[in-house]
A and B are shown apart, each in its own frame.
Chain A
Amino acid sequence: MSAGWGIFPIFAVVAAAMGLASFVAALCTRKSLAQWMIRGAVAVMLLFILQLWIVLDRPPMRTMGETRLWYSLFLFICGAFAYRRWGYGWLLGFATTMATVFMVINCFKPEIHDQSLMPALQSVWFIPHVSIYIFSYALLGCATLMSLYSLWGRRDVDDALQSLTWGGVAFFTIGMLTGALWAKEAWGEYWSWDAKESWAAATWLLYLLAMHLPRLGYSDRRVRAVVMVVAFLSLQMCWYGVNYLPAAMDSVHIYNR
């Protein structure tokens, strides 16, 4: 086995195993072990990226395969931070699953390592922008499910629901703003009403509405659940719905062509 991509399967297996171990540890309420395991997974990914960087003699951010490495890294990092912040074990399970999917693609589809990445995507903003968004989608999706769950008189989920919604909105905001800063650097406009941007803004505002409702004194769970479901539908449009939207044919965010 040679350095570079050749040794990737070893790193992938170790990182995935550490992610899984952190998830299991979290389920067994071994908090500190879970935190060390997920940090270990981050370290393993980081080591691989560093050695690839040295072997290639350039930052590994040019091909689709290389960006998938960064996805995996950032998903582990997001999982570590989010677990530390909220202490929900499923966050680690989710982060590990998503990161593993990207690593498995890299292991079994090596021919797409070389798929070209257009120059506009070769930016330091690319990976944080996309990984933070992916993570916020997960948090907001879970918050939506929880808001439906709260309709069956489960009062004990209210605090968790608020935490998840606020956390999801925080991640979503960062995703959106890193996108705006990148857009300014790439073609000069922070915001250009691209279809995906419009749907992201609508989603953001609807979740902001759900976030503001209890603060403004509207405590009806049904109203909140309706807003959360509408926001979630808008999120689906933003995530992949725009790919099928005739209005989005000129969008710079469509990847399935």
Chain B
Amino acid sequence: MKVSVSRYTLTSGLLIVAMAVLSWLLWAVVPFSVEFFAFPLNLILFLLWGWGVFELHRASGRSVIARYLLSRQATITSLVLLAAGCIVMGLQRKPATDSYPFLLLNLFVITQLAMVTLRGWRDCSGIRWVFICCHLGLLLALIAGFWGAPDTRIMRAEITAEPTKSALCQNGEVMQLGYELSLADFRVEYYDNGTPSAYEADVEIDGSRVELRVNHPHKVGLGEHIYLTSFEQRGSDTCCIVQIVRQPWRAVMFLGIALMLAGAILIFIRGPKR
């Protein structure tokens, strides 16, 4: 037993070194680009990954890799690596989420978490609901964040009475929206000290009028929403700044969050019981 413990610990160490070397090699060959993995490549890779995890779990009696991923050392490695990654992000002004080390780290964490979730589905007492809520919830949220990242588009548009059909991506690219936006009406209320207390905009989307407010987005399609973020007064004209977010994997993320919330409430109610 003593021997196998040190072997798995050694595996964790080697794995971290391997991830560091691999990300350096990849970075030297081709710079990281999240757009490269955009649909359909991310979906294909996700399905292959999911299939691989299932097969690996089925072979957990024979496969050395599966046994390592299901070891307690792998769980510790997973948590420590992700925490370390978060601390690095917390120290950066522009967090390096689009980078090879972060990609490999996340790939390891979700693979390990997926294995543990599959194994923990049920034991002799039946399905373990608290375990499933917490682990499957986090897994779904990470899957949506990780595999869905290449498809997420955050765009900004300035809306005036003049109709616009395009918006600006974060990387400076201009995207066609597929619909037309124009500002029909704008109302703002101020506090006594002159700062805005509330504002709302009536925006026409392809001719139909909708009301936009802060914290009250408008849904334009599957996983696509328009958010009112701020406004500018230009002489007598008003210009509204809206954010358009396309997030096709939104439902998966939402399901993950809902499961985790249920898990947290169950943990609070039941406490640290087996």
Chain A residues within 8 Å of B, Cβ to Cβ: 62, 85, 114, 116-120, 122-123, 162-163, 165-167, 169-171, 173-174, 177, 180-182, 185-191, 193, 195, 198-199, 201-202, 205-206, 208-209, 211-212, 216-218, 234, 237, 242, 245-247, 249-250
User: Is B209 close to A, CB under 8 A?
Assistant: no
B-side interface residues, number (CB < 8 Å): 51
Question: A250 to B93, Cβ gap below 8 A?
Answer: yes
Within the complex, which residue of B84, B90, B225, B253 is in contact with A242, where a contact is CB–CB below 8 Å? B90
CA–CA, A186 to B227, complex, Å?
A: 7
Question: A123 to B90, Cβ gap below 8 A?
Answer: no
User: Is B31 close to A, CB under 8 A?
Assistant: no
CA–CA, A249 to B271, complex, Å?
A: 38
Question: A216 to B247, Cβ gap below 8 A?
Answer: no
User: Is B248 close to A, CB under 8 A?
Assistant: no
List 15 additional contacts besides A114-B191, A190-B253, A202-B90; criterion CB under 8 Å: A114-B192, A119-B213, A166-B267, A167-B271, A173-B261, A174-B261, A177-B257, A180-B257, A181-B257, A186-B215, A187-B243, A188-B217, A190-B141, A193-B97, A212-B79
The 7 nearest A-B residue pairs measured at CB: A188-B245, A198-B90, A202-B86, A216-B72, A205-B83, A173-B264, A119-B214
A177 CB contacts on chain B under 8 angstroms: 257, 260-261, 264
Given contacts A181-B257, A188-B243, A234-B87, contact A205 B79 (CB under 8 A): yes
Chain B residues within 8 Å of A, Cβ to Cβ: 72, 75-76, 79-80, 82-84, 86-87, 89-93, 95, 97, 141, 145, 154, 191-193, 195-199, 213-217, 225, 227, 229, 243, 245, 247, 253, 257, 260-261, 263-265, 267-269, 271-272
A180 CB contacts on chain B under 8 angstroms: 257
Question: B79 to A208, Cβ gap below 8 A?
Answer: yes
